[in-house]
Amino acid sequence: MAAAEKDHVYKILELVGSSDTSIEDAIKNAISRAAKTIREMKWFEVTQTRGHIENGTVRHYQVTLRVGFTLDA
Amino acid sequence: MAAAEKDHVYKILELVGSSDTSIEDAIKNAISRAAKTIREMKWFEVTQTRGHIENGTVRHYQVTLRVGFTLDA
Amino acid sequence: MAAAEKDHVYKILELVGSSDTSIEDAIKNAISRAAKTIREMKWFEVTQTRGHIENGTVRHYQVTLRVGFTLDA
Amino acid sequence: MAAAEKDHVYKILELVGSSDTSIEDAIKNAISRAAKTIREMKWFEVTQTRGHIENGTVRHYQVTLRVGFTLDA
Amino acid sequence: MAAAEKDHVYKILELVGSSDTSIEDAIKNAISRAAKTIREMKWFEVTQTRGHIENGTVRHYQVTLRVGFTLDA
Amino acid sequence: MAAAEKDHVYKILELVGSSDTSIEDAIKNAISRAAKTIREMKWFEVTQTRGHIENGTVRHYQVTLRVGFTLDA
Amino acid sequence: MAAAEKDHVYKILELVGSSDTSIEDAIKNAISRAAKTIREMKWFEVTQTRGHIENGTVRHYQVTLRVGFTLDA
Amino acid sequence: MAAAEKDHVYKILELVGSSDTSIEDAIKNAISRAAKTIREMKWFEVTQTRGHIENGTVRHYQVTLRVGFTLDA
Amino acid sequence: MAAAEKDHVYKILELVGSSDTSIEDAIKNAISRAAKTIREMKWFEVTQTRGHIENGTVRHYQVTLRVGFTLDA
Amino acid sequence: MAAAEKDHVYKILELVGSSDTSIEDAIKNAISRAAKTIREMKWFEVTQTRGHIENGTVRHYQVTLRVGFTLDA
Amino acid sequence: MAAAEKDHVYKILELVGSSDTSIEDAIKNAISRAAKTIREMKWFEVTQTRGHIENGTVRHYQVTLRVGFTLDA
Amino acid sequence: MAAAEKDHVYKILELVGSSDTSIEDAIKNAISRAAKTIREMKWFEVTQTRGHIENGTVRHYQVTLRVGFTLDA
């Protein structure tokens, strides 16, 4: 963590993103959606990876994220 | 999960509801209170069940919930 | 545990039951459905309590259970 | 927590109560039994919900509680 | 979850799939193998991601899944 | 918990505070920052204690908190 | 894991075995009972060690196991 | 659990026993010591297995147990 | 652990202490209160750190401890 | 696990790898870096998946691994 | 813990030992192997007990340990 | 985390530090001891806070840390 960020207070947000393609894509979808209203997101942590199955194949991946952003940015 | 809901991004909210009567009633109280400001709640998960005791009897139940709602509805 | 049951080997099954009414009713629904094919169920443990929300109210409860039954009965 | 309770030291007791009827009733049975010898119980937390099955139906619920009471009351 | 699925009882199965290529591919391999004998699989949850190493490189990924399917379909 | 607070619904917020001095100071920094926009905070729980190291010494402590506040105050 | 086993899909079974003698004997009893119907068991993991007490002495040990076996053997 | 035991309220006690010989012997030592003052112990659960090392060899095993006993026996 | 302590059986007690000042002071308050009735306490482990908030500032810290003491001292 | 590997003692190392591209690539980067000094790595387990966010997009993935290698190879 | 050991800093090592015979023997094998290069080991904690199965019988036990040793001895 | 640090691979070390004075001091003691042989430590995480009791008072605090350092610095 760079010096300039060290005195921030972070708030943690919990999101679920989904994707037909990959776990990484589900993460990106959640973060790009949240970026519409929250500017200073800094990190994420994956807390759950799930998905839905249709006709015996993976229909989509669904990833739960905790996302930290600075309150004072 | 129905097809129409599959591409949503969910946000997860954490609430504590209470009731003199039952665990189910504490869940309902938390959700009906949250429904005043959040419209598209879809699911909940109970993460803790506690309560208060007075004079040797259960005074009320207190249930912690994670509640998922769609960001884009 | 009574003496006669002590030398059994148990198998553990994981089920999810649901109910519009209560957590207890969701447990009973899962067990009565499993009782159609498994005879010697002895105990259960609740591992997760979830539910679905529609129009700002609890639509149904959904309870995950581990159920133990004797293999040699 | 009210001001008068803030300087207490609590001791935590672990109990298991049971009931044929409901999870709430199993909680109440454990607490009313403990109330015979412990006066200043203040709160409880459910740590496990189990039960016994007989003939394919729930015979009783069995709930494990951590119960806090003041040492100096 | 769509209305038609709400009254099902689910059974949860635990599987381990593997792949030389990716975590997603290991998930797909487990589910397509299970689809040979189980028809109504609805969702999965990843509970562990492991792998084997040979000569200092990842030889394959190995993913443990809990898979839910309807008992009454 | 005092009687007047018993029927509230709480919302839980997750924050990360930091301090060069102590764990307690990191907690206070997170809460005083949150107090700018949230009035009725009632309790907190520490869920993680981390920190950063520079030149072989602790540069600052970083504490993650869950904070409960009343929705209806 | 040997090369020949690498592409298998495993299913995980959960068992409880018991013994008057030792934890190891409880593990063996569960596995030898399961071996009557499942052929390609490969590994186990102990997830819980419990036991029963009679007249102030250990009556028997009771060990919960997750057991992995190949689906395609 | 036999019928006669079903309506008891249990209290859970936490103990640590040790032995130079084996894990089972550490369990027995804890329980036989507790049996001096508690009569109706019914079950135990191992929650931690530790030990001490001296001169590069295991000096003794140290096992933490939760022990349940009936309050009303 | 010194040789003389090695053959003891320990009992574990769970306490909650509080302090306006610091986490360490809350630990000390719980232990000095317990020392009034229990003599041979040997170690403690912090299992939860919480606190209460009033008017946007930390009112006091509340620390849950497991405390081990020898039964045979 | 092949017969020849069965009598080894393993040491477990904990690593964090990162990648701009994917979770799998972060795993590979950690293992190929460790392979410079450790020869007989056999398996890994993912214990945490995190990442950094810049300007509302995922900047890189950061994966924590436990890696087992034989001490006697 | 004896007074002379109280000011040490410990490092924790994670090992996996195996044995055809017993859990205790797997612990001893891991520690005696580590004793070849590490002198001041003081304690261990079992974090996982697994094993391999061949032809329907336990082939060997495999125990994961955290081992603490003094850095300054 | 600053850009320059982003491509590092970290190794995680587990340490236990102790202090008569405070939790923060126990953390500092562990890190300053490790700094004698490891240069590029970047962060720590507290995983356990314990302590020893003598004559009914806290004799010292003992804190377990996971410490991350760059392998390639």
D9 touches chain F (CB under 8 A): no
Q: Using alpha carbons, list the distances in angstroms from residue C43 to D57, E14, E58, G48, K16.
A: 10, 20, 42, 16, 34
Tell me which residue has tokens 């394919």: D56
Low-confidence ranges of chain K (pLDDT < 50): 1-5, 73
d(C-alpha B7, C-alpha G5), whole Å: 37
Computed over every residue of chain I, the mean pLDDT equals: 91
Q: Is the pLDDT of residue H1 over 50?
A: no
Length reported for chain A: 73
| Pair J49, L40: CB distance under 8 Å | no
Question: Tokens representing D18?
Answer: 């049971």
Cβ neighbours for J43, distance < 8 A, ≥ 6 positions apart? E50, E51, E52, E53, J67, J68
Mean pLDDT calculated for residue range F8-29: 96
Nearest to B42 among C48, C49, C52 (CB): C52
Low-confidence ranges of chain D (pLDDT < 70): 1-7, 72-73
Beta bridge partner(s), residue E14: E66, G12
Q: Tell me, what's the pLDDT at E4?
A: 41
Tell me the pLDDT band of I71, cut-offs 50, 70 and 90: confident
Residue C57: how many CA atoms within 13 Å on its side-chain side? 4
Tell me which residue has tokens 């320990």: I10
D8 touches chain B (CB under 8 A): no
The verdict on a CB contact (< 8 Å) between B61 and D31 is no
Mean pLDDT calculated for residue range F23-41: 96
DSSP assignment of A4-60 equals GGTTPPEEEEEEEEEESS-HHHHHHHHHHHHTTT---EEEEEEEEEEEEEETTEEEE
Let me know if chains F and D touch, i.e. at least 3 Cβ pairs under 8 angstroms.
Answer: yes
d(C-alpha B29, C-alpha B51), whole Å: 15
- Give the pLDDT confidence of B15-36 residue by residue, as tens digits: 999 999 999 999 999 999 999 9
Residue L17 or H8, more confident:
L17
Q: How many helices (H) and strands (E) does chain I have?
A: 1, 3
The pair phi, psi for residue K4, each rounded to 5°, is -60, -25
d(C-alpha I36, C-alpha B65), whole Å: 40
The verdict on a CB contact (< 8 Å) between H22 and K24 is yes
Determine how many CB atoms are found less than 10 A away from the CB of residue I3.
10
Nearest CA to CA, how far is E27 from chain C (Å)?
A: 20
Q: Tell me, what's the pLDDT at A43?
A: 97
Nearest to A24 among J22, J50, J52 (CB): J22
Mean pLDDT calculated for residue range L36-63: 97
Q: Using alpha carbons, list the distances in angstroms from residue I31 to D41, I26, L49, L56.
A: 20, 9, 15, 7
Let me know if chains H and C touch, i.e. at least 3 Cβ pairs under 8 angstroms.
Answer: yes
Q: Tell me, what's the pLDDT at B72?
A: 66
Q: Is the pLDDT of residue H13 over 80?
A: yes
Q: Is I38 helix (H, G, I), strand (E, B) or coil?
A: coil
Tell me the pLDDT band of E25, cut-offs 50, 70 and 90: very high
**Partners of residue I39 in chain L, C-beta under 8 Å:** 56
C28 touches chain E (CB under 8 A): no
Mean pLDDT calculated for residue range E10-30: 97
Question: Tokens representing J45?
Answer: 């387990």
Mean pLDDT calculated for residue range B3-18: 81
d(C-alpha E35, C-alpha H45), whole Å: 38
Let me know if chains K and J touch, i.e. at least 3 Cβ pairs under 8 angstroms.
Answer: yes
The verdict on a CB contact (< 8 Å) between C57 and B32 is yes
K2 touches chain I (CB under 8 A): yes
pTM of the entire structure? 0.93
Low-confidence ranges of chain A (pLDDT < 70): 1-7, 72-73
The verdict on a CB contact (< 8 Å) between E39 and A56 is yes
Nearest CA to CA, how far is G7 from chain C (Å)?
A: 26
Mean pLDDT calculated for residue range B43-66: 97
SS3 content of chain J, % helix, strand, coil (to 5): 20, 50, 25
- Give the pLDDT confidence of J2-61 residue by residue, as tens digits: 444 456 899 999 999 999 999 999 999 999 999 999 999 999 999 999 999 999 999 999
- Give the pLDDT confidence of H24-37 residue by residue, as tens digits: 999 999 999 999 99
- Give the pLDDT confidence of G13-45 residue by residue, as tens digits: 999 999 999 999 999 999 999 999 999 999 999
Nearest CA to CA, how far is F55 from chain I (Å)?
A: 27
**Partners of residue C3 in chain H, C-beta under 8 Å:** 2
Q: Which residues of B62-71 are buried (b: 16+ CB within 10 A; e: fewer)?
A: bbbbbbbbbb
L42 touches chain F (CB under 8 A): yes
C10 touches chain G (CB under 8 A): yes
